Structure 1
Amino acid sequence: MDFSKDKDLAKDFLINFADADGDAKYMLILQDVANRKIKAIQIDIEDLFNYKDLDEEFVGRVTSNTRRYVGIFADAIDELIPEPTEALQDDDHDILMTQRAEEGNENADGTDPKQKMPSEIKRFYEVYIRASSKGQPFTIREVRASNIGQLVKISGIVTRCSDVKPLMKVAVYTCEECGFEIYQEVTARVFMPLFECPSTRCKINQAKGHLILQLRASKFLKFQEAKIQELAEHVPKGHIPRTMTVHFRGELTRKVAPGDVVELSGIFLPIPYTGFRAMRAGLVADTYLEAMSVSHFKKKYEEYELKGDEEEQIARLAEDGDIYSKLARSLAPEIFGHEDIKKALLLLLVGAPHRKLKDGMKIRGDLHICLMGDPGVAKSQLLKHIINVAPRGVYTTGKGSSGVGLTAAVQKDPVTNEMVLEGGALVLADMGICAIDEFDKMDDSDRTAIHEVMEQQTVSIAKAGITTSLNARTAVLAAANPAWGRYDLRRTPAENINLPPALLSRFDLLWLILDKADMDNDLEMARHVVYVHQNRESPALGFAPLEASVLRAYISAARKLSPSIPRELEEYIATAYSSIRQEEAKSNTPTSYTTVRTLLSILRISAALARLRFAETVGQSDVDEALRLMQMSKFSLYSDDRQRSGLDAISDIYSILRDEAARANKMDVSYAQALNRISRMGYTEAQLKECLEEYAALNFMLSNILLRQAVVYDVVNDGKCLVSVIEMKDRRYANKRSPGDENYDPRTLQWWEFKSKHMDKVLRNLGELGCVQSLLPLAGARMTSRLDVNLRAFCELSHGLNGKDG
């Protein structure tokens, strides 16, 4: 088939195609190639579609026979490459080409193809044809045999990468007899070297000259092999993910790493088996993808280049005084509440700068956070959302991960047959985030592998003759359930957490998320969940939540800063740390252990907060917020209210009623109001009555009223009085503070406030009990048609009432 017409079309396209600005796009690229600024020439299929002088048949031929047309475009570029416009210093390639040009006439006759210099050895650039970005990529299982030789686009996750090795493209030999250079083009992974000189002079003289391979004069390309696996959402039900081998050459090497989610365009090609595998396989051939372009779904922070509109948007966000809260609330807005936890996760994404001391010691800047809580509080959802937002993240579970799977394993490389290290989850998450769900389900032997990673951020290996350390500069985000499935309030936090102290001390923040019954909170959460379920989006937050791409752009800009601690804050931080230690030392039952790691955690959180403000130095407000987050995380673990409620529900009900009276700034709490309040907190009416009975016997005076209504008031509550009218059975209660009690004070004056439907019966019953000596005029008393009475009586308690209680 004659491809000369297509070559002319390719030359016309390269010369005349203009971009949106009217510039000759590819001629400018060729000039940069001539000036040795770039080596790769990317030809977009979309540009071929848009060029007016090309028909669709030409584009179809390019996409269906891509490897041939890569060579056609390369031949066209050979003829169009301009002269360099800048002064260049000759490199090894130029020196060899100059020497060959001088000796070209003496080499041999040009009729022998093996003695003719191939065009491949002259090229100092590479040509790639990139697929259109408009179409949807194939899944790996959708690539069929009919796609052999075609340009296809697939998406997946990179599972492994080989080292970059040299791949021979043109082998150059020198004959010992005639001195001629012999060229051999290599088009496959394996080739048979030449041993006997094929030149005409050696054949005529029957010299059978021996050929010597000249590695210096030969041409090599960088070569890397990778495995790409189907994404989880592309795998049908009941199937396992499929994989495909990808070959990267030249400038496309080192573009991907294990764990990257990428979109590849390339040529789908067969590769025959060799050796004994070929004997067993017969006519069956393996397949691979020769990569033409690589694009990442999520760029790394250091690779993120802000565009003009993104820079303006980030500048506007940085000027917002509430950006800290908005960024946090933009994380998983579909998940209700957890505002402080989302702030902590935001700081986990931002991180603090790493510190390297003069003697080589390193202080990590990555934050580690552990979320401990009851089932169903969205721990796993938070983990997965953070992994989606982070440019580099690995998600794994505790029970499905072994120690080797987390750190590194020794395997044989199928390309080189050498023993190589295969990085585990923590190594794959280098410079990213490793989320470990079900952290408590891990075996102790496997969990110990994380200790070195969390503090030293390296993985030390001594296996199969390989002794080395791998970088694992990752932030660990763990989620765990308590030891008994749900958090047991009657047990200490140490008994509930069930993780070794050496591991817990490495976490900068440890949050406890409890699923407590609270009617108000439960109603809001239920409405939120139902709204998300119906509308597939979160309810209005008062502002437009920032998209994941904007979050990544903002965080990448913030991570470029390296804020320092000013001298004026040294004493403030030291005093705060020492006070925490002193409070812990004074506690009879210390529930946490504050170490120097806690101080470093405060510094890391403060630096992350300063990064969010785009500040060069840490401010006191950053330190205060860091201390607040530390305190809130500890409060969630070691709350006095939680310890009290775990020991005695009756005391918790009493504190709820007292807080309700203080909140309303009243001396009375109606029975209906009290029952409603404690019901929202998860308690029953029986527990309320039990509480009232017990406190009446201990600390209260209770007047028995024949109407089965009683007035209860607290006589020892910092001079305040809590009064309730409750429906009770016809029972009498004895007050321990009777006239015979040594603590009894006859001059004690108390205010009573109660409500009754029958005022006359109430007064008569109070008189029968002998507890009322005088009644003030009922000033302001109000009667209604229902005979509701708001009676405030001033009662003087005195002794000598025949043993009756007042």
Structure 2
Amino acid sequence: MYQPTRASNKPKPTTSRPTRGPGPTCSSRHAALCLPAKNPPLIPLFPPFPRTFCRLPTAAPPLLSASHHLLAAATAVPITAAGMKNPDFAADKALAKDFLSNFAGPHGEPKYLNILQDVANRKIRAVQIELDDMFHYKDIDEEFLQRVTENTRRYIGVFAEAMDEIMPEPTEAYTVDEDRDILMTQRVDEGADGGADGTDPLQRMPPEIKRFFEVYIKTFSKATPLTIRQVKASNIGQLVKISGIVTRCSDVKPLMQVAVYTCEECGFEIYQEVTARVFMPLIECPSQRCKLNKAKGNLILQLRASKFLKFQEVKLQELAEHVPKGHIPRSLTAHLRGELTRKVAPGDVVEMSGIFLPMPYYGFRAMRAGLVADTYLEAMSVTHFKKKYEEYELKGDEQEQIDRLAEDGDIYSKLARSLAPEIFGHEDVKKALLLLLVGAPHRKLADGMKVRGDLHICMMGDPGVAKSQLLKHIINVAPRGVYTTGRGSSGVGLTAAVLKDPVTNEFVLEGGALVLADMGICAIDEFDKMEESDRTAIHEVMEQQTVSIAKAGITTSLNARTAILAAANPAWGRYDMRRTPAENINLPPALLSRFDLLWLILDRADMETDLEMARHVLHVHQNLESPALGFTPLEPSVLRAYISAARRVIPSVPRELEEYIATAYSSIRQEEAKSNAPTSYTTIRTLLSILRISIALARLRFSETVAQSDVDEALRLMQMSKYSLYSDDRQRSGLDAISDIYSILRDEAARTSSMDVRYAHALNLISRKGYSEAQLKECLEEYASLNVWQIHPSTFDIHFIDA
């Protein structure tokens, strides 16, 4: 084996003189691999592309590492498939120019010429060439497409050279404020006088430093994405599409593309194109003037004149449904450059297309490297499976569909019933979860204080009431969501951890589940199984919506603007009716008060309900769909579009409702004070919860103001969340529903010293207590037959005979 040296990458002398080009026994594929690499880097420390020679089978070529040979094969030398001709890059460049100049868009306009015009006018930087367009272009054959997909990095250079030649002149004035523009003007002036060696600086400049655009090749839109496990060694150098979830993103850092040096003696400008993550800087000036003067001028690296590109490293992990039985998820490193940076965040599920390449080793690691190489994906395009709410751009047909839905008077119920239609019942729970998705706008006061707008909901109930299924469905509908369990999550795993970066050896913050769910939803199952010390870590997140860290010399706050959806079981597994609600819930008041709704769901035996539920479950099991709901449930994509449009509305609370809301809050506090075993902890946060739920209801109606009906529905939901605590035949104070409604109406008549109660007012009163209109009508009929009151035949207003 030949060992590379620091100063030279020539092999040691051998008994037979090596010859350039393939030997007599080389196959055609071997010959393609053994051609010398073009434009080797200048004086690299350990050259990533070693110059190789083809020998007879008895003499092995010099080996630096397996990754270097793979990278050389994937980047510097085109690999030809069986039956394919050797590529003619000059002809392919001419074909690329013809395609860029003449390809027409759907409306007949020159698609890529218009893009290049925007590039010339400095409006955009990225030019994305789609393989779908090449496929539909009449002059491009399948062999050209195959060459592009199998040798993508080389053909990016071909298309970039073609764009250099057909780049139009700017048609709009733009501000010349970049250092590169000023330096290019200076170099043009120097070119008129000649450089230090009498040559034109523009001729010596690499094409990369003169370009102000980036070229990306996007794979076929209908191509089936591969899993990370399906990408093999045969895909090296090829354009592939991979699906996965982003688990880690590095900071965006500058990556040097072209290093520019200036000689201290003669002022000669030298350019060094950097093609790898590591390069060896030049030291001595190679100009003719320094050679004539026999001076070894030192070269100074000019950072302002050099060209840098934004660079970000991303870790992509297999989706859970793609992991085989008994295996753990695999990961792949992806490199994002230029305009592709900051396109993804941890927790995003994406399809990423790019070039699958080996990662070369450098330094002493390259000398000890074996035959195994690390790989990475050089990203060409990123597609999100679920867009964020603010990124939704409603098309014409989608806008019309949303307008039709908004005009439906029953849209609130239909949207709620479209959430997990396979789950029987829980209509009010689904309404609360719908409001969780919509939320309320965040408020920021003049002094900087922030009031959260996200709703927090905790579902506590007996086992088998579909709590976990509801959690997972909400995460599926939400554009951004993180699902975790209480037993498998620590306080650090929920908030943030301090880790050591393996590349820079610096301490960095790694966001936990709550940070990853920023501007989304964090679902925590088995909330009651968490350790108390871990559960207290989310107190700050639930109200201030930040995560404060003071570890390892890092003192900072991370945003965690997330809505928390928790599911828990009662303290003894099932709810014990013999114990008080506080004993069954077994959560500290400081945590309970932070939840806007604490929904208690009990599994009670009821003949009719159990029969309906059994029929529903059997129908879903047999037909793999929910029974008929009387309407077509909305798809998750339609739900996301509707919620996205609703979240753009910022309703306000009118002044005439302020007293009404204050009175309702005060009455809730008084009822809790009278109760021996309160079911919740009512604080001033409860008042803010009423406002948030009311605003979310107004958003669903696309209303700019909150109506009284919104406040009544918010109060009804807060009351219904405890409804299952009371038996079907006995309500709060031991009275049945009809007797309790009668007591409410009688107390209202006594309070107002009036014999009359309007029906609309009576309906508002009993709705706030958690009763329905059907129960009110039943009460009116029963007590009217007892001659307690009289009912108006048309308005249903109530007149007490003896109040």
TM band (smaller chain)? 0.7 to 0.9
* More displaced 10-residue stretch of structure 1: 270-279 or 7-16: 270-279
Shift in Å at residue 534 of structure 1? 1.3
Does residue 363 of structure 1 match 2:451? yes
The answer to whether the Cα contact below 8 Å between 2:581 and 2:677 also exists between their aligned partners in 1 is no
Does residue 584 of structure 1 match 2:706? no
Does residue 439 of structure 1 match 2:519? no
CA gap of 1:640–1:110, structure 2 versus 1, over 3 A, is: farther
**1:239 aligned partner:** 327
**2:757 aligned partner:** none
Cα deviation, 1:521-576, whole Å, max 9, x if unaligned, reads: 11111111111111111111111111111100110111111111101101111111
Paired with 1:346 and 1:196, the residues of 2 have a C-alpha distance of 68
Paired with 1:428 and 1:604, the residues of 2 have a C-alpha distance of 24
The answer to whether the Cα contact below 8 Å between 1:490 and 1:643 also exists between their aligned partners in 2 is no
The answer to whether the Cα contact below 8 Å between 1:115 and 1:181 also exists between their aligned partners in 2 is no
Paired with 1:110 and 1:137, the residues of 2 have a C-alpha distance of 53
* More displaced 10-residue stretch of structure 1: 371-380 or 104-113: 104-113
CA gap of 1:296–1:324, structure 2 versus 1, over 3 A, is: same
The answer to whether the Cα contact below 8 Å between 2:647 and 2:699 also exists between their aligned partners in 1 is yes
Q: Which amino acid aligns with 1:284?
A: V
Paired with 1:120 and 1:590, the residues of 2 have a C-alpha distance of 72
**2:219 aligned partner:** 131
Q: Which has the higher contact order (CA 8 A, sep 6+)?
A: 2
**1:73 aligned partner:** 159
**1:381 aligned partner:** 469
Query: 1:132-281 maps to which residues of 2 (within 5 A)?
Result: 132-281=220-369
Does residue 414 of structure 1 match 2:502? yes
Paired with 1:439 and 1:170, the residues of 2 have a C-alpha distance of 53
**2:145 aligned partner:** 59
Q: Which amino acid aligns with 1:94?
A: D
Paired with 2:606 and 2:512, the residues of 1 have a C-alpha distance of 42
**1:425 aligned partner:** 513
Paired with 1:643 and 1:319, the residues of 2 have a C-alpha distance of 37
Cα deviation, 1:148-197, whole Å, max 9, x if unaligned, reads: 00000000000000000000000000000111100000000111111111
**1:5 aligned partner:** 91
**2:586 aligned partner:** 498
Cα deviation, 1:35-94, whole Å, max 9, x if unaligned, reads: 111110000001111111111000000000000000000000001110111112212222
Shift in Å at residue 604 of structure 1? 0.2
Does residue 102 of structure 1 match 2:189? yes
Shift in Å at residue 277 of structure 1? 3.7
Paired with 1:590 and 1:454, the residues of 2 have a C-alpha distance of 23
SS of 1:448's equivalent in the other structure is helix
Paired with 1:59 and 1:130, the residues of 2 have a C-alpha distance of 12
CA gap of 1:613–1:114, structure 2 versus 1, over 3 A, is: closer
Paired with 1:638 and 1:402, the residues of 2 have a C-alpha distance of 35
SS of 1:6's equivalent in the other structure is helix
The answer to whether the Cα contact below 8 Å between 1:115 and 1:183 also exists between their aligned partners in 2 is no
Over alpha carbons, which structure has the higher Rg? 1
Q: Which amino acid aligns with 1:117?
A: M
Does residue 452 of structure 1 match 2:536? no
**1:542 aligned partner:** 630
Match of 2:647 among 540, 549, 559: 559
The answer to whether the Cα contact below 8 Å between 1:252 and 1:293 also exists between their aligned partners in 2 is yes
CA gap of 1:719–1:234, structure 2 versus 1, over 3 A, is: closer
Paired with 2:687 and 2:314, the residues of 1 have a C-alpha distance of 43
The answer to whether the Cα contact below 8 Å between 1:164 and 1:224 also exists between their aligned partners in 2 is yes
Shift in Å at residue 588 of structure 1? 3.9
**1:336 aligned partner:** 424
Paired with 1:637 and 1:462, the residues of 2 have a C-alpha distance of 43
The answer to whether the Cα contact below 8 Å between 2:188 and 2:202 also exists between their aligned partners in 1 is no
The answer to whether the Cα contact below 8 Å between 1:349 and 1:390 also exists between their aligned partners in 2 is yes
SS of 1:136's equivalent in the other structure is coil
Match of 1:511 among 590, 599, 604: 599
CA gap of 1:31–1:120, structure 2 versus 1, over 3 A, is: same
- Report the RMSD for the aligned CA atoms in angstroms: 2.3
Structure 2 portions without partners, runs of 5+: 1-86, 741-781, 787-803
Q: Which amino acid aligns with 1:99?
A: Q
The answer to whether the Cα contact below 8 Å between 2:424 and 2:616 also exists between their aligned partners in 1 is yes
Tell me the TM-score normalized by structure 2.
Answer: 0.79
Does residue 324 of structure 1 match 2:419? no
Paired with 1:110 and 1:145, the residues of 2 have a C-alpha distance of 48
The answer to whether the Cα contact below 8 Å between 1:166 and 1:221 also exists between their aligned partners in 2 is yes
Does residue 87 of structure 1 match 2:173? yes
Q: Which amino acid aligns with 2:170?
A: P
Shift in Å at residue 108 of structure 1? 4.3
Paired with 1:719 and 1:489, the residues of 2 have a C-alpha distance of 35
* More displaced 10-residue stretch of structure 1: 86-95 or 446-455: 86-95
Q: Which amino acid aligns with 1:633?
A: S
**1:488 aligned partner:** 576
Q: Which amino acid aligns with 1:35?
A: N
Query: 1:332-731 maps to which residues of 2 (within 5 A)?
Result: 332-637=420-725
CA gap of 1:215–1:639, structure 2 versus 1, over 3 A, is: farther
Paired with 1:109 and 1:276, the residues of 2 have a C-alpha distance of 38
Paired with 1:25 and 1:411, the residues of 2 have a C-alpha distance of 47
Q: Which amino acid aligns with 1:124?
A: F
SS of 1:578's equivalent in the other structure is helix
Does residue 48 of structure 1 match 2:134? yes
CA gap of 1:590–1:241, structure 2 versus 1, over 3 A, is: closer
Paired with 2:209 and 2:732, the residues of 1 have a C-alpha distance of 82
**2:74 aligned partner:** none
CA gap of 1:644–1:593, structure 2 versus 1, over 3 A, is: closer
Q: Which amino acid aligns with 1:466?
A: I
**1:293 aligned partner:** 381
Q: Which amino acid aligns with 2:385?
A: F
Paired with 2:115 and 2:526, the residues of 1 have a C-alpha distance of 52
Q: Which amino acid aligns with 1:78?
A: D
Shift in Å at residue 203 of structure 1? 2.5
The answer to whether the Cα contact below 8 Å between 1:379 and 1:479 also exists between their aligned partners in 2 is yes
Paired with 1:564 and 1:100, the residues of 2 have a C-alpha distance of 59
Shift in Å at residue 643 of structure 1? 8.2
SS of 1:302's equivalent in the other structure is helix
The answer to whether the Cα contact below 8 Å between 2:196 and 2:267 also exists between their aligned partners in 1 is no
The answer to whether the Cα contact below 8 Å between 1:110 and 1:116 also exists between their aligned partners in 2 is no
Match of 1:28 among 91, 114, 139: 114
Paired with 2:328 and 2:198, the residues of 1 have a C-alpha distance of 56
CA gap of 1:94–1:438, structure 2 versus 1, over 3 A, is: same
Paired with 1:164 and 1:62, the residues of 2 have a C-alpha distance of 29
Structure 1 portions without partners, runs of 5+: 646-650, 660-716, 722-806
The answer to whether the Cα contact below 8 Å between 1:108 and 1:115 also exists between their aligned partners in 2 is no
SS of 2:381's equivalent in the other structure is strand
CA gap of 1:276–1:477, structure 2 versus 1, over 3 A, is: farther
Q: Which amino acid aligns with 1:123?
A: R
CA gap of 1:464–1:308, structure 2 versus 1, over 3 A, is: same
CA gap of 1:571–1:720, structure 2 versus 1, over 3 A, is: closer
The answer to whether the Cα contact below 8 Å between 1:427 and 1:470 also exists between their aligned partners in 2 is yes
SS of 1:599's equivalent in the other structure is helix
SS of 2:267's equivalent in the other structure is coil
The answer to whether the Cα contact below 8 Å between 1:15 and 1:26 also exists between their aligned partners in 2 is yes
Paired with 1:575 and 1:340, the residues of 2 have a C-alpha distance of 24
Shift in Å at residue 637 of structure 1? 4.0
Paired with 2:467 and 2:558, the residues of 1 have a C-alpha distance of 30
The answer to whether the Cα contact below 8 Å between 1:511 and 1:636 also exists between their aligned partners in 2 is no
The answer to whether the Cα contact below 8 Å between 1:115 and 1:199 also exists between their aligned partners in 2 is no
Cα deviation, 1:448-487, whole Å, max 9, x if unaligned, reads: 1010000110000000000000000000000001111111
Q: Which amino acid aligns with 2:284?
A: E
